[in-house]
Amino acid sequence: MAAGAENGDGTVLSRRSLAIAAFSTVVEWYDFTLYLYLATILSRVFFGEGAAGLLITLGGFAVAYLMRPIGALAFGHWGDRFGGRPAMLIRSQAPF
């Protein structure tokens, strides 16, 4: 079992799969952190001076952050029921 770690159901996860999953998580959280770090600049560029623009910018972050678990529940259920490929195809064909 030198090729990877054993999963709970006895399958073997490769080190490459674990590295890709870890890297994608780091990139995702870097994206959120960078958005919060630049929130004041973004609010001034798109909404002008004032607290209302900053609240709108941070509100956009809050909506994105709160929708993550809802999307995970919906697409996770769909993926468990119909497979990962149809779940990813539905997500990629969304009109928004």
One-letter amino acid at 91 equals R
What is residue 11's predicted lDDT score, i.e. its pLDDT?
59
Find all residues with CB under 8 Å of 15, minimum gap 6, and list them.
3, 4, 5
Report the chain's mean pLDDT, rounded to a whole number.
82
Residue 92's pLDDT band, with cuts at 50, 70 and 90, is low
- Residue 5: helix, strand or coil by DSSP? strand
Find all residues with CB under 8 Å of 86, minimum gap 6, and list them.
78, 79
Domain that holds residue 72: 4-92
One-letter amino acid at 44 equals R
pTM of the model: 0.59
The whole-number average pLDDT for the span 60-86 is 87
Structural domain count of the chain: 1
